[in-house]
A and B are shown apart, each in its own frame.
Chain A
Amino acid sequence: MKKLILSVTIGALAVALLNGSTLLAQQKAKLYAGLSNSKGYVVGAKLSPSGLHVFEGDTTWRLIGWKHPRISAVAFDPNDHNMIYLAGGNGCLKSKDGGKSWKITTNWEVTESQSICVDPNAPQNVYISTAYGIWRSKDYGETWNASNNGLPKKYTQLVTADHRKAGRLFAATEGGIFVTTNGGDSWQLAGAKGIESHDIQQSVKNPQIWIAGTETKGVFHSQDNGKTWQEIGGNASESPIYAVAIDPFNTQNMAAAGWNSGVLISRDGGKSWKNYREGLPVDDFYSITFDANEPGHLWVATIEEGIFRSADFGKSWEFKGMYGSLVFDLVFY
């Protein structure tokens, strides 16, 4: 799973990104990772630094807040950069002060959280997906209620918002890709019926374009703002795809990765995909994202072998730290 939070925010930072050329004149986005330093870890074992990390250059990452065995996802309030939401093993962790202090705002019912999402056009509405379904908060993550009406299978890997329309969100569930247009009051099937889905991303530059990763059918594609979804097929359907990404500077550039997949990259808007494995220690990945600051730079998180960056669309890779970690989420903000 990956998110380009920058792409779904409202405000100067997002405007800067959308107008790519002026980006560098603005504040640079930081790269955050929600992770578990998992190599050798089982519940109850001594825990290496795990939780929310921010990239500080070269191979250095700094832990923000608590050590936590699993941070699955991170989200930010688009209007208040100090408001951070984490989906973790202990539920939703919220910080109002940029990560200095935290509160778990969910109760015992919210467990095994997989993703978290702030609706950029209605940021009081926060969504968290879990192994037991979707939960919604209408008060900035302070209180939560179940939001599963219409979902035939509750297991939901990811929930993500349409950054152009308040209350419109997509969910990657065990039963396929589902959409809500009423802020989670009800959900309807949008595509990939019956196919366990893992990740969904919307293009920053062209919000009509979405892609998704699934367990058994690889990458799916939508060119009509998520109304219909098509299986891409070919080598993009040969492996379970856990994470997908669209270049915020160029919608023609797409990437996908998962289990035994290598890194799949398309330079033609999803028509053809090339597989890159050379220079990477494993073929297995959890997260992938395009750089929000450097056009065409791609970041991937391998399964426990570290985070890598490519500046040439997968031809070569540079180790960027976090060996031993499962990085569940890579987020530029």
Chain B
Amino acid sequence: MFRQIFDTNNPLKTALAALLLALSALPGTVSAQNLVSRADQLDAYHARRDSLIDFYAHNVKADDLTRGGYIDIASKLYRGIDMDWVEARLDSLMQDPRGDMFWMYPFITVTYVGRDKLSDTYKKKMRDMWRTYMPYRGDTENHWAMYYTAMYLITQMYPDEPGEAWFNGKSSRENHEEAREYLIEWMDIATTIGQGEYDSPDYFGVFVLPMAQLYAWAEDPEMQRRGRMMLEWILADFAVENLHGLYTGAHSRTYPPQVKEQWKVTSTSFAWLIFGNTPFYPTGYAAILAYSGFELPEIIYHIGTDRSQPYVHREKKRTRHRIRYSDVKNAPVYKYTYMRPEYSIGSSQGGLLQPIQQHTWDITWDVDDPRGKHNTFFTIHPYSSPTELGMYFAEHLGMITELVVRSKTTYDSWDKWTGGSPYEQVFQHKDVVISLTDIPEGQKFPHFDGLFSKDLSAREDDASGWIFAQGGDAMIACYPLAPYEWMQEEDGTWRMHSKSLKNGAVVQVAPASQFESFEAFKKAVRALPLQTKTSPKAQVSFTTLAGEKLQFAYDDTPTVNGTPVDYNNWPLFEGPFLNAEVGSRKLTMSYGQLRRVLDFNTLTITDSVVE
């Protein structure tokens, strides 16, 4: 059982662990459930780090010259083994460079990991690749983060060379300055109005890896510190919304298979590496973090692993850059996550927040082993429109959908499970989500769907209009606002399919421990005051199991006990663990009495223990 990693009896537990134990009993604090000492954390981390590097170092046998990528090469270099194979594979791969920034990040990794181990001949060959191969800079922030980090580091290694020595004709100094300027600009935006490609289980790695590379290899102390701080910022952002390794809640970008099987995704590999709270899932992205020498601060480790107490966490993020069909370049994204030991519910407000791959909200319930499990529930209005794509991509509208479908194959499918809709609005308060739609006539996919997983232990249509379900220790009640039908998919998923345009669902979740039985849960939900309408627009008035009255109508501001939700003052981070004000460039992490402040205004990291 992978969670037994935490059940250590190592006698080297530090005094701090004992302090945390004491703090856990204090009112108003999240308890320090995982009593793992710093020494044990690091021992376990080092073991995982070494095993990941070993995995790639031995991924290809030394007599097999037919396969092996740059991460395999870097890992063998890191271990100092199979040098003949390393050079042969480098020769082979360098004959046919491809991948643009996806070539740059592993290539710069090999360059730095191998700088003291490769012969001058190979260093020279590798250096020349930066003259002869022109990588595309790309069109989005993860592309640019990888591109400019690689440019920063390679021009750091070769600092005084003229434009003729580089693929883009710029001198080392010009390239270095441009890269530095872009990276600082991106960090500034991310720490003031939020990250653009936010909280993506898939794209998480392509932001972590460039920051890990800066931390590991930037020689300028300021840039090295920026890399470290941004790395911590992103990892803390993940830590607070992961439930035993799964990146829960709303995401900017994810893929259809991963929205069901949430474990099988890049962020899992990082959770395994830094938290040890999920089964081994190797990726090259995580391997780069492993090479970097980075050690996770203790406080982030605790934030990422302590699920002993429920909490509400809010964040403000922003959309990817909008280039047309919008009055704002970066629209705000209001994220809300309610985390419990048994499950996590997370949402954004709906609408078009990211192209193609948006995941607006979901429930993720805890399972002992997430491999192969679809431990999730959510609803969606599947939307497809050239206008949405044109908002973010500079292609003509006539061809834009076809171009997108080449790589995002389900974008234009009626039964897709990812993507945002301008006709879907979502409101969450703790463990209740209300999703409403107002789909105009003539839309390509005029329906509203709900995903009922193959791994639910119960799914019942109730005469009251509620659908009751249970996944793990999460009891789920879903009240569709309009008639629906059931459709089953090949993988066992049940699709709640409704063709009403003014539509929606009320979803109340509760932990199984709060009820004597599933029947008791159903009875309690049936008794809750609930009023819904779909004309003239979808609207809901609902009193939750906790006795709070929620009201939400399409296009109106939702209220909690009569008080409107204040979106104008939504924080950059707010919760028991992470806090930051919009525009502040300053993140305060808290766990018990531990504090750690990342301040990009002063480029300082401050640790303290509050009295």
Contact = CB atoms under 8 A, between A and B. Distances in A.
Interface stretch (A54-62, A64-72, A162-170, A202-210): A64-72
Contacts of B182: 107-108
Nearest to B327: A153
B134 A101 contact: no
A215 B167 contact: no
Given A66-B134, A112-B139, A259 B399 contact: yes
Interface in A36-73: 38, 40, 42-47, 66-70
A131 B399 contact: no
B322 to A, nearest CB: 10
Contact of A43 (B100, B163, B325, B399): B100
B interface bracket (residues with beta carbon within 8 Å of A): 35 or more
A259 B398 contact: yes
A108 B152 CA distance: 13
Interface in B164-218: 164, 167-170, 178, 181-182, 185
Nearest to B136: A69
A153 B324 contact: yes
B69 to A, nearest CB: 13
Contacts of B103: 44
A258 B399 CA distance: 10
Interface in A9-45: 38, 40, 42-45
Interface string A86-117: 00011100000000011110011001101000
A242 interface: yes
B102 interface: yes
Contacts of A217: none
A44 B100 contact: yes
A303 interface: yes
Contacts of B290: none
A47 B397 CA distance: 23
Contact of A132 (B137, B138, B144, B323): B323
Contacts of B323: 112, 131-132, 154-155
A137 B137 CA distance: 21
B373 to A, nearest CB: 30
A70 B136 contact: yes
Given A103-B170, A153-B324, A259-B399, A46 B98 contact: yes
B100 A259 contact: no
A260 interface: yes
A312 B314 CA distance: 66
B398 A101 contact: no
Contacts of B608: none
A45 B399 CA distance: 19
A275 B245 CA distance: 59
B28 interface: no
B535 interface: no
A215 B407 CA distance: 25
B507 interface: no
A90 B143 CA distance: 12
Interface in B104-137: 134, 136-137
A148 B100 CA distance: 31
B138 A43 contact: yes
Residue of B164, B167, B178, B323 most packed against chain A (CB within 10 A): B323
Nearest to B403: A38
Given A104-B169, A112-B139, 16 more contacts: A40-B406, A43-B102, A43-B143, A46-B98, A66-B167, A69-B136, A89-B137, A101-B169, A103-B163, A111-B137, A112-B323, A131-B323, A155-B324, A215-B396, A242-B396, A303-B399
Q: List the 10 closest pairs (A to B, CB-CB), nearest first.
A: A103-B169, A259-B398, A155-B324, A131-B394, A131-B323, A42-B407, A108-B182, A104-B168, A44-B102, A66-B134
